[in-house]
Structure 1
Amino acid sequence: MSTMSPASPLRAAPPAIPDTTSSAPVAPDGPPAPVRRPALDWRIRFAVLALIWGFSFLLIKVGTQAYAPFQVTLGRLVFGTAVLAVAMAVKRVGLPRGARTWGHLTVAAFFLNALPFSLFAYAELTIPSTLAGICNATSPLWGMALSVVAFSEDRPTRRRVAGLGLGFIGVLTVLGVWQGFSGLDLGGTVMALLAALSYPVGWIYLRRTLAGSGGSALSMTGAQLLLGTVQLAVVTPLFTTVPGSFPVVPLLAVVALGALGTGLAMLVQYGLVAEIGPTTAQMVTYFVPVIATVAGVTLLGEHLSWNTPVGALVVLAGAALTQSRARGGSRSRRGSTARQA
């Protein structure tokens, strides 16, 4: 999470900006290797992935009820890394080699895992999980704006600029700016938006540094999560103390957040991208805030004003427009854009 994000969280990259929740690193360019079609239909796996990432924000909220945000993030990374370690062992995939690769993955782990996961955990101390899920959906908007600056070939079209403007209006609607932000905690909201911004910063960094490096996607994803775990393992003891008790429900929430929302979700998305391509696979992004909202309202009893779902729909519409491009552009640029697992 995704929480995704993500990620994340989260992930093969679409032609322009990668998926907003999975937070996984890039894989080498070139034609994909032949993939054996799984027994489970891709539509079912697509729905499962959307549910996992959508519920990640609820799990963060439950986890922070008993544990400090850094502890929730550390647990998330530990269990997510464990899942990928098992997958690497089963497939007999080793960790990447080379100091340069590990150096770039260290930066990626910070922007794609350690920083956004921590920011979302801290944000949900003061804002509803529904709002956190909606803020996560702004990642494509941030990504579109940043890619124009970072890559000369990512020239904005009128449609994408319109999508950026529409998304901005959607964010203001969600926040209820005409009512003084509808009583929402500004600090928590800003942290959630910064978490969403952190994902495309990490994706762009990886695209500029490790695209075409020749490493295995699973290997690089596992290394990235391992490095993120090390980063949190260093930081967490400095700002938290060992919990006096370990309530079962919040503990299970952290375990599920890591094992399902981070580890398993990355593996599922990797399979989806290999089977149906990044463009279709990334559409899961647009279901995540919807599921997060439903989960927060029905299971946590969070209040939902009319402007929240309306603004969320506007944000998603804007995000969809920023990902659109002229025919032919996608094919010509797919080879130069890094894929993520």
Structure 2
Amino acid sequence: MSTATGAPTASADTTNPPATTACAAADKHAATTASTAAASLRATTATAAPKPDGRARGWQLRFAVLSLVWGFSFLFIKVGTQGFAPLQVTLGRVGFGALVLLAVLAVKRERLPRSPRTWAHLTVAAFFLNALPFSLFAYAELTIPSTLAGICNATSPLWGMALSVVALSEDRPTRRRVAGLGLGFLGVLTVLGAWQGFAGTDLTGTVMALGASLSYAVGWIYVRRTLAGVQHSHLSMSSTQLLLATAQLAVVTPLFTTAPADYPLIPLLAVFALGALGTGLAFLIQYGLVAEIGPTTAQMVTYFIPVIATAAGVALLHEQLSWNTPVGALIVLAGAALTQSRPRPSRPAPPRSDATSA
């Protein structure tokens, strides 16, 4: 999400903006979106240099697996909240995800960062890229379908573009990006059915899901401003970030929830899959893709997440789907793609020949 949940940061919902520590996404993707992502994805994936001549033949398969895992994250959240409180689902998610990354960290014999400054910045990143958006998505899915949550996750690149214009001096608004932002906003209104007074849509849950995508964007910008130059591996940074998110939720969850009376198997397996696959394994796949095919291509996973989330919700959870939901989702994705696109450099005019025929 996150970037899923995302993203994205350690988000399966979102895999979206280029700088990534553990993302979002998904949720999101997202996330993020997304297009952060991702990625919690999500500290400095944008700095990873693509290897045009050394791409693994199987990167397409791993790209598909990543899309599926993050797309299904919203279904896992919905199933998990049927047996556990939203905060408990989120705690299990980051906890299982952290265990996966820490296990890989131990196998590779890498260390966690030692700088107190890095830990302090990662604490903030863990809140905005993991603890807060993951919790918001879990609460949102108490009242909205997983399909709508997946679509809301795709708005993360739109939030990121809007905020980066203000917070990042190197990002300047262009007509193309402003048009993408307006198009994405139109898509959100279409998804919500604005012409019929948002009838049939729980506004509180929808606002929470959109707030989760906004949180990814805030987290990405913070990471870019504070951690872009840190000399640590993505695995080390992401492991620390998820560890800190787990600690944050371990403090908060007992204050607002009571211990479960039982542990139903299906919701428990959903939470485990959400954490171990959608928040742990997915980030390892994401980092490998960024290193092999570059952040731009890897970022495209953001645009597959809402499609898979919608298909999974309709096919497996039997969620209702009106015409405006997929149409609005396509408009949102088109707007997000437009905000992330860059104009093609103009080609130099071919030299004129002054030769004359004999």
Is the pair's TM-score, using the shorter chain for normalization, greater than 0.5?
yes
Deviations 1:125-179 (A, max 9, x none): 0000000000000000000000100112211111111000000000000000111
Given that 2:80 and 2:89 are in contact with CA atoms closer than 8 Å, whether structure 1 keeps it comes out as yes
What is the Cα deviation at residue 90 of structure 1?
Answer: 1.3
Q: How many pairs does the alignment contain?
A: 329
Q: What are the ranges of 5 or more consecutive residues in structure 2 without an aligned counterpart?
A: 21-33, 346-358
Residue number in structure 2 paired with 1:99: 116
Alpha carbons of structure 1 residues 193 and 94: separation in structure 2 relative to 1, 3 Å: same
Structure 2 counterparts to residues 146-165 of structure 1, below 5 A: 146-165=163-182
Residue number in structure 2 paired with 1:283: 300
> If each structure's helix is expressed as a fraction of its own residues, which one has the higher value?
1
Q: Distance in 2 between matches of 1:239 and 1:290?
A: 34
Q: Distance in 2 between matches of 1:158 and 1:275?
A: 32
Residue number in structure 2 paired with 1:315: 332
Residue number in structure 1 paired with 2:6: 5
What is the Cα deviation at residue 35 of structure 1?
Answer: 11
Residue number in structure 2 paired with 1:142: 159
Higher radius of gyration, 1 or 2 = 2
Given that 2:19 and 2:44 are in contact with CA atoms closer than 8 Å, whether structure 1 keeps it comes out as no
Other structure's SS at 2:199 match: helix
Residue number in structure 2 paired with 1:14: 18
Determine if the alignment matches structure 1 residue 62 to structure 2 residue 63. no
AA at the equivalent of 1:4? T
AA at the equivalent of 2:93? R
Given that 1:28 and 1:213 are in contact with CA atoms closer than 8 Å, whether structure 2 keeps it comes out as no
Residue number in structure 1 paired with 2:101: 84
Q: Distance in 2 between matches of 1:36 and 1:164?
A: 35
Alpha carbons of structure 1 residues 29 and 72: separation in structure 2 relative to 1, 3 Å: closer
Residue number in structure 2 paired with 1:176: 193
Residue number in structure 1 paired with 2:29: none
What is the Cα deviation at residue 29 of structure 1?
Answer: 7.6
Q: Distance in 2 between matches of 1:241 and 1:28?
A: 38
Q: What is the percentage of aligned positions where both structures have the same residue?
A: 72
Q: Distance in 1 between matches of 2:275 and 2:45?
A: 26
Given that 1:22 and 1:265 are in contact with CA atoms closer than 8 Å, whether structure 2 keeps it comes out as no
Q: Which of 139, 147, 156 is residue 130 of structure 1 equivalent to?
A: 147
AA at the equivalent of 2:10? S
Q: Distance in 1 between matches of 2:223 and 2:37?
A: 14
Given that 2:71 and 2:304 are in contact with CA atoms closer than 8 Å, whether structure 1 keeps it comes out as yes
Q: Which of 73, 88, 96 is residue 90 of structure 2 equivalent to?
A: 73
Other structure's SS at 2:286 match: helix
What is the Cα deviation at residue 40 of structure 1?
Answer: 6.2
More off after superposition, 197-206 vs 20-29: 20-29
Q: Distance in 1 between matches of 2:38 and 2:59?
A: 18
What is the Cα deviation at residue 22 of structure 1?
Answer: 2.9
* TM-score scaled by length of structure 2: 0.87
Q: Distance in 1 between matches of 2:276 and 2:52?
A: 24
What is the Cα deviation at residue 27 of structure 1?
Answer: 3.3
RMSD: 2.2
